[in-house]
């Protein structure tokens, strides 16, 4: 099944629709649970190495644009969250979250933007906390751009496609393990920061 999914991704990556699908995928992943854009970016760079930087830029811009949409949705949802928390006797919880996020928000964006943790966690939280929009956009450009350009650089290597073809299953398992480890570490950091 993994091989057929990989073959499908490679066919899509080589199609004329790929440059449109990539930023759309990145934007959706910044707003809602979706396939990480790294998967499509890697396949597109493997299919057309000479366009690696163009694809990384598209991916970055799509992700940051989607992040701005999620930020706006989070900012809108914060009033609903305030009313909901008040109705269950936890009115101060949102204020406490906002105060904590004001202190560690930049670090959260910089760390989570680079890791395999879904970007939507950062985008929604930043909007709910009414974190500085210019700082959010700047940090998102740095972290998402860093992540996607690094990924494109790795996939641009002449032997990258052969390596991926030979080790697809191992890479998929390693990716899942990396996501789990990142989530556990970030949870530990957040728990420590909240104390």
Q: By residue range, what is the domain housing residue 67?
A: 2-193
What's the whole-number average pLDDT of the chain? 81
**Under DSSP, is residue 116 helix (H, G, I), strand (E, B) or coil?**
coil
Give long-range contacts, CB 8 A cutoff, 24+ apart: 24-27. Answer: 24/62, 25/62, 26/58, 26/59, 26/60, 26/61, 26/62, 26/63, 26/66, 27/62, 27/63, 27/65, 27/66, 27/69
Q: Is the pTM of this model over 0.85?
A: no
- Most trustworthy range by pLDDT among 37-46, 105-114, 165-174: 37-46
Give the pLDDT of residue 14: 72
DSSP classification of residue 100: H
Whether the CB-CB separation of 163 and 45 falls below 8 Å is answered with no
For the ranges 11-15, 22-26, 124-128, the lowest mean pLDDT is seen at 11-15
Nearest to 148 by CA among 29, 61, 68, 20: 61
Q: Is the pLDDT of residue 195 over 60?
A: no
Dig out the tokens for 60 from the structure.
Answer: 């970055």
Cα(152)–Cα(146) distance, integer angstroms: 10
What is the pLDDT, as a whole number, of residue 65?
Answer: 97
Q: Which of 23-32, 157-166, 168-177 has the highest mean pLDDT?
A: 23-32
Mean pLDDT calculated for residue range 56-80 = 94
Tens of pLDDT along 73-125?
999 988 888 787 778 877 787 788 888 888 888 888 888 777 777 888 889 98
For a pLDDT cut of 70, what percent of the chain falls above it?
74
Distance between CA atoms of residues 77 and 20, nearest Å? 29
Q: Which has the higher per-residue pLDDT, 101 or 140?
A: 140
Is residue 165 within 8 A of residue 139, CB to CB? The reply is no
How many domains are contained in the chain? Answer: 1
């Amino acid at each position: 099944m993994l091989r057929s999914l990989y073959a499908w991704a490679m066919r899509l990556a080589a199609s004329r629709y790929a440059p449109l699908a990539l930023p759309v995928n990145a934007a959706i992943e910044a707003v809602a649970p979706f396939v990480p854009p790294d998967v499509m970016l890697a396949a597109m760079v493997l299919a057309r190495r000479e366009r690696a930087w163009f694809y990384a830029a598209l991916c970055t811009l799509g992700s940051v644009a989607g992040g701005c949409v999620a930020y706006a949705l989070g900012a809108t949802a914060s009033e609903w969250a305030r009313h909901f928390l008040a109705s269950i006797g936890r009115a101060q919880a949102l204020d406490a979250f906002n105060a904590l996020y004001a202190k560690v928000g930049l670090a959260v964006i910089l760390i989570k933007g680079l890791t395999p943790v879904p970007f939507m966690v950062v985008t929604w939280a930043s909007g709910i906390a009414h974190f500085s929009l210019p700082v959010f956009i700047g940090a998102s450009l740095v972290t998402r751009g860093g992540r996607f350009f690094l990924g494109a650089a790795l996939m641009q290597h002449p032997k990258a496609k052969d390596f991926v073809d030979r080790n697809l299953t191992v890479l998929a398992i390693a990716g899942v393990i990396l996501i789990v480890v990142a989530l556990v570490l970030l949870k530990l950091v957040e728990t420590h920061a909240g104390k």
